Amino acid sequence: MKTDIKSMLPDEIESALIEMGEPKYRAKQIFSWLNKGVGSFNEMSDLSKKLREALDKRFYITVPRPIRKQVSQLDGTIKYLWELMDGNAVETVVMSYKHGNTVCISTQVGCRQGCAFCASTIGGLLRNLEPSEMLDEVLFSQLDSGLNISNIVLMGIGEPLDNYDNVMKFLKLVNHPDGMNIGMRHISLSTCGLTEQIDKLADLNLQLTLSISLHAPDDETRSKLMPANRGRGVDELVSVCKRYFERTGRRISFEYAMIDGVNDLPDHAKKLADIAKECSAHVNLIPLNYVEERSFRPSTAENLKKFVKILDDNGVNSTVRRKLGGDVDASCGQLRRKAANKGD
């Protein structure tokens, strides 16, 4: 059984080299080659042939295959479908903003959170993504598109905190100065609210931005929309968010998809304002995106306006998220697990 070398940090590669009786300083060279996207040890031209062969016996290098690339006619957003080495496939989105290019990556093949409005959970969870596979989403999106990626959002398919260890390892890999070197402040992690893991994350005191997919300010509505709320509850989520802010000093964002008649009434806005103030959180409103299998509709422009005003009157700033990639189903909640062989 070979080991996945792209999921290893330079110090882990060093230990492996020592075990192989090779000089450990080669680790930095190897790590840097991996972060250039080479597909084989043979391409690592500054290593001896003997070392390249020895590495090839012990390790493999993941290479995703782009089986589909769609470019939005509206705003240039790119959506990739990557085939992984075991034949599974995941989607990644590249968006261009004035402040730089952002890649939205998937963290799992499918999702088991079951949110009622989201396409990514249809069909459930197949498996977690490895750290290398998440790194590849960033790396190969950059290589294929020719766009320099400066920001990462963990907002694609899957629940990042349900794949906690691999996601933490990925963050270390992508943040490493000898690798892609993307700063934590340029990374956002979004969660449906797995409170135990949010607490664990707070202890790491990372400088990333934590987004909470809130979508409803009361248990009745939230538990209907998001099974992750059942057995936890909004109160527990609020306490955890407060603790997170106190420990890290980093402001949390609340994501709130506006669903017609479900979570967009004045009473919801008032409750949301209270919670946001309690947690010192910023509110991001997202007009619900269309998902064929779901019956929900986006809020009307009028209700959205009223909602924003109530938040405003209660001292809470909100932004309405601009929709990108709508014509290629690349918007929030529209990514899904697909069969690689069908490519659709």
Q: Catalogue the active-site residues.
A: 91, 332
**The one among 166, 213, 299, 318 contacting ligand SAH by CB under 6 A:** 213
163 binds ligand SAH (CB under 6 A): no
Nearest to 106 by CA among 115, 94, 114, 116: 94
**The one among 82, 117, 245, 254 contacting ligand SAH by CB under 6 A:** 117
**What CA–CA distances, in Å, run from 141 to 93, 94, 100, 133?**
8, 7, 14, 12
208 binds ligand SAH (CB under 6 A): no
Q: Give the C-alpha separation, 342 to 332, whole Å.
A: 23
The smaller minimum CB distance to ligand SAH, of residues 27 and 228, is found at 228
Q: Where are the alpha helices (DSSP H) in the chain?
A: 10-19, 26-34, 49-58, 131-145, 164-175, 195-204, 219-225, 234-248, 266-279, 301-313
Which residues, at least 6 apart from 211, have a Cβ–Cβ distance to it below 8 Å?
155, 188, 189, 190, 191, 252, 253, 254, 255, 284
275 binds ligand SAH (CB under 6 A): no
288 binds ligand SAH (CB under 6 A): yes
283 binds ligand SAH (CB under 6 A): no
The smaller minimum CB distance to ligand SAH, of residues 175 and 190, is found at 190
The smaller minimum CB distance to ligand SAH, of residues 60 and 164, is found at 164
* Position closest to ligand SAH via CB: 333
What is the smallest separation between the CB atom of 320 and ligand SAH, expressed in angstroms? Answer: 12
**The one among 130, 255, 264, 329 contacting ligand SAH by CB under 6 A:** 255
72 binds ligand SAH (CB under 6 A): no
13 binds ligand SAH (CB under 6 A): no
Q: Give the C-alpha separation, 260 to 225, whole Å.
A: 13
The token pair that represents 288 in the structure block:
């619900």
286 binds ligand SAH (CB under 6 A): yes
Which residues, at least 6 apart from 338, have a Cβ–Cβ distance to it below 8 Å?
81, 89, 91, 344
Which chain residues interact with ligand SAH by CB under 6 A?
A: 113, 115, 117-118, 155, 159, 190-192, 213, 255, 257, 286, 288-289, 291, 332-333
